[in-house]
Each structure stands twice: as structure tokens, then as C-alpha cells.
Amino acid sequence: MTDADELRRRTQELLAAHPPAETGRLDFLRARFDAGLAWVHFPEGLGGLGLPRSLQAVVDAELEAAGAPDNDPRRIGIGLGMAAPTILQYGTDEQKARFLRPLWTGEEVWCQLFSEPGAGSDLAALGTRAVREGDGWVVDGQKVWTSSAHLARWAILIARTDPDVPKHRGITYFVCDMTDPGVEVRPLRQITGEAEFNEVFLTGVRIPDDRRLGQTGDGWRVAQTTLNNERVAIGGMRLPREGGMIGPVARTWRERPGLRTHDLHQRLLKLWVEAEVARLTGERLRQQLVAGQPGPEGAGMKLAFARLNQEISGLEVELRGEEGLLYDDWTMRRPELVDFTGRDAGYRYLRSKGNSIEGGTSEVLLNIVAERVLGLPAEPRTDKDVAWKDLAR
């Protein structure tokens, strides 16, 4: 029996023991995790079976055909795409057992406390401090652009634990309880009118040392696992042909021939081809991930994602003319997830501006591609060997 056959057998056993029509959604998801069918490439006992990542499609197809519920992956994308791989690689056995199951089932939402208003695109220059006190740490600082902080129970957090060494070496990685005293979440209203992002203030927040991921001072290396997975999650999403932003534009083009001009036709064709190339490249990147960990190639995919979204949404507004400027809802809202394709063209145009900032700015990602993919000389860095406390701020 092949691994695929064995997975089909296990999936049918799960469905027989927990019929989706008769089992509560959360109960079914918990049973699926315990059966090792959540993410089959994870180890046994942690939602997986230690099988190749590519075989997950076998399980997903069987469950979809049976009408089984999923774990609403868009809502818990930060946990699935960023926190889980990092916990798996650097967490203790106790941390893996505590966090991975409720993370995957969606019982606990996660957010990411990385970016800071004083560090900008230079994440390693962060100033949030974590000071050792007894058997834990006391954290003070501010984070910004934190998606889902208003929904999250847990956060992945990086903070400076040693200001006397160069900036990349004095950082430590933690898991922060967003319900602890001293954690304050404030909404950031965006150009769309929504507040899906937040700023988070940390004042005397106490984090036990058993919520540290990796070694003290090694947080930058741990964070690279998170960031590489984040870029793949953003730029390498699995899409059907004409999925994503190109879909609404192509439908408008077909349904409303009176909007067409030769120039718009040529631009649409160019962007359609580029979107399809990006989609197929993302599929190849996911196939490469089966054999190992995500690398700097994810930065290239995220770059393409941001540029295409902005160019396609701009074309859509131009194609629709005055109608393209309409936007149905400017009220202050706190959405659980971003809906690019279910809103007006004006919303897509405005929201896509953030794509070149979130998940790493395009300028930083261009440097990553240049240095780590193309092998070009690195830019001069005068602060490489300077202690963080001596840097100009």
C-alpha cells in the first residue's frame, strides 16, 4: 500500500468515526488533528504523520468531497503560516504540545509583534526591550502594523535582550500572551476606512522564560524562519487560473465590451500573462518546499504579488472610469480578514497599496533577491559591528 493509499484509508476512518453532518465543527477539527491529518508533513502526535508535504492534497481532496469543515485558514493565516513552522523548528516539546493543536483548529488566533515605528524597514534595529527578572522577562516597547492583534490570544514577539552587541545579535524570540496585563491594542485606521491593523503597546509585560523560542540572543535567526514562511504565505498562495486580483478585471472586460480600448486591451493582456506566470511560479515554489524549508525565493514571489496587485487594481479603476472610484463602505470596521475580491474596485485599488509594505517592504525584498538569489555584492553596512546602544536613532 502506498502512502497515498494509507492516507485515504485513514481519512475514511476519520469520516466514519466523525461524520461531518453529525459532528460539531470544532470536534471534527480536533479529531482530524489527532489523526495526523491536519498537516501530514508534521511529526506524529503534532497533527501529522511525518509524510511528504505534497501528500496533504490527498487528504484535503477526500475531506472536501465529504463536505468536511476546514479550519478557516484565511482567518488564522498568521498562526498557520508563520507561528507554526517556527514553533515546530525551535519550540520545546512542551511548547509544541501546548500551542500547535489549538493553533491549527483555530481555537487560538495568533498575531505577529515584529515591526516598530522607530525601526522602519530595518527590523534588526528594533528597540522593544526584554529584561531578565527572576524566571522570566519584563517587556516594554511598542509594535505597529499588527494584523489581527484585536482578535489574537497569542503573539510571536521579538525583543532586544542585549543592547551591548550589534543589532542582529542581541534579539530574543518569545511567545506573548495578548491577554496579559500591560498589553494594550489600539486600532490603526487605514485609507480604506478599516482598522485591520493595530499598534500594540507593551508596558511591564511579564513573559515566563518557558515561552522563549530558541536561545537567548538568537532571535534574529529564529525570526528568519518566520519571515521566510511569511513571504511564501503572502506571495505563494495557491490560486486557480484567474484567481486573485486579475479575476475581477478579466470578468469586467468580458462582460462590458463598451469599456474596451486598444491600449487597455494590451495592458490587460500583459498583466494577465504576468499573473499567470506568477501563479505557476508559485506552484513550482510550493513543490520545492516539499523537499525543504522556504528560502529567499519567497521574497521574489512576494515582490511580484505586490507589484501585480497594484498594477492590476490601477487598471481596473481606469477601465471602469468614474465608476471605478466608487467605494461602498467607508465606515470604521474591524475585519477578521482582508477580502480583496469581494469588494468594490475602489477598495482593491486602495488596499493594494499596503501590499508593498506588509510582509517586508519591496525595497528590502529587492535587496534580499539581489544578494541571496542573484549573488550580487551586498550593500555597504557601516553599522554591522556597532553595538545597538551606540547606533544613531
Can you tell me the distance from the alpha carbon of 34 to that of 79, in angstroms, rounded to the nearest whole number?
Answer: 18
φ/ψ (deg, to 5) at 158:
-115, 140
Maximum alpha-carbon separation in the chain: 71
Paired strand residues for 155? 111, 176
| Amino acid letter, 176 | C
Q: Is the pTM of this model over 0.85?
A: yes
Q: What is the pLDDT of residue 234?
A: 62
Burial 191-230 (b: 16+ CB within 10 A, else e): ebebbbbbbbebeebebeeebbbbebbbbbebbebbbbbb
What would the grid cell of residue 176 be?
506573548
Q: Which residues are catalytic?
A: 230
pLDDT of residue 295: 61
Q: Residue 102 and residue 96: Cα distance in Å, rounded?
A: 11
**Full pLDDT tens readout for the chain, 393 residues:** 799 999 999 999 999 999 999 999 999 999 999 999 999 999 999 999 999 888 999 999 999 999 999 999 988 999 998 999 999 999 999 999 999 999 999 999 999 999 999 887 789 999 999 999 999 999 999 999 898 999 999 999 999 999 999 999 999 999 999 999 999 999 998 888 888 889 999 999 999 999 999 999 999 999 998 987 776 666 556 677 888 889 989 998 898 888 788 888 899 999 999 999 888 887 777 666 655 555 666 777 888 889 999 999 999 998 888 888 777 666 666 766 666 666 788 888 988 988 888 777 888 888 888 887 888 898 888 888 899 999 887
User: Domains in the chain, ordered, with CATH?
Assistant: 1-70 (no CATH), 110-217 (2.40.110.10), 223-373 (1.20.140.10)
Q: Are 133 and 175 in contact (CB under 8 A)?
A: no
Are the CB atoms for 135 and 175 separated by under 8 Å?
no
Residue type, 245: M
Grid coordinates of 264: 487597455
196 with 334: CB under 8 angstroms?
Answer: yes
- The answer for residues whose C-beta is within 8 angstroms of residue 315's C-beta and 6 or more apart is 249, 264, 267, 268, 271
Strand 110-113 and strand 154-160: the pairing is parallel
Per-residue model confidence (pLDDT) at position 28: 98
